[in-house]
Amino acid sequence: MLTRVLEPEVMESEEEARDYDAMDHSAVNASFVADLLAQAPPRGAFDGPLLDLGSGTAQIPIALCRRSPEAIVVATDLAESMLALARRNVAAAGLAARIEVRRADGKRLPFADGAFAATVSNSIVHHIPEPSDVLAEALRVTRRGGLLFFRDLLRPESDAEVRQLVATYAAGANDHQRALFDASLRAALSLAEVRERVAALGLCTECVQATSDRHWTFAARVR
């Protein structure tokens, strides 16, 4: 297994935000939204607002609101460069009434205990030096019976596997975009590392599963 190599926690530059927003995440985002909605009680609807941690340019909240007319989302990120694009994307989608874009640190959230019906995140964990901090905050702000739904990259076992994944999934990307993906794979956690952190919070370790050749998913109800 490769040693984890941390990448910057916040993607501050406008170039990084633009390159991230321009990458084709449509298939991954659609899969995330479909799998999230499959967890909704009843299917397709949540009984309160959702919190999206590390929302980036708000692609997933937009996709979610297009699929689920009842969804209300608070989309958070720590990078102002990402948030600026997120606000533009939300406005262009005509969803400003249903998606609130806010700057917030996932390790110290400015929300009350149990404020959300679900806390979700796609790819925040690999940005955080100690992901337990974000998982604990997500647990705190999600109401009893609410949903925790996290998905992120799996760290490959070798340099060769990193190169193969970059070649497969970033073939049409520019050099900077490929470098971002390479760094993210190396900063990701292994399945065992995710389960260790989930177990420390008293949550279901079997609720963490590998769900593709490069992703893990954690889906659990708060008790």
Residue 123 lies in a domain: yes
Taking only the tens place, the pLDDT of each residue in 133-191 is 999 999 999 999 999 999 999 999 999 999 999 999 999 899 988 999 999 999 999 99
Q: The domain spanning residue 188 has which CATH number?
A: 3.40.50.150
Whole-angstrom distance, CA of residue 152 vs CA of residue 163: 18
- The 10s digit of each residue's pLDDT in 107-137 is 999 999 999 999 999 999 999 999 999 999 9
* pLDDT at position 16: 75
Q: Rounded to whole angstroms, how far apart are CA atoms 138 and 5?
A: 24
How many domains would you assign to the chain? 1
71-111 per-position pLDDT tens digit? 999 999 999 999 999 999 999 999 999 999 999 999 999 99
Q: What is the residue range of 162's domain? A: 14-221
Band the pLDDT of 8: cuts 50, 70, 90.
Answer: confident
More confident call, 22 vs 119: 119
5, part of any domain: no
Question: What's the confidence (pLDDT) of residue 44?
Answer: 64
In a domain, 209, yes or no: yes
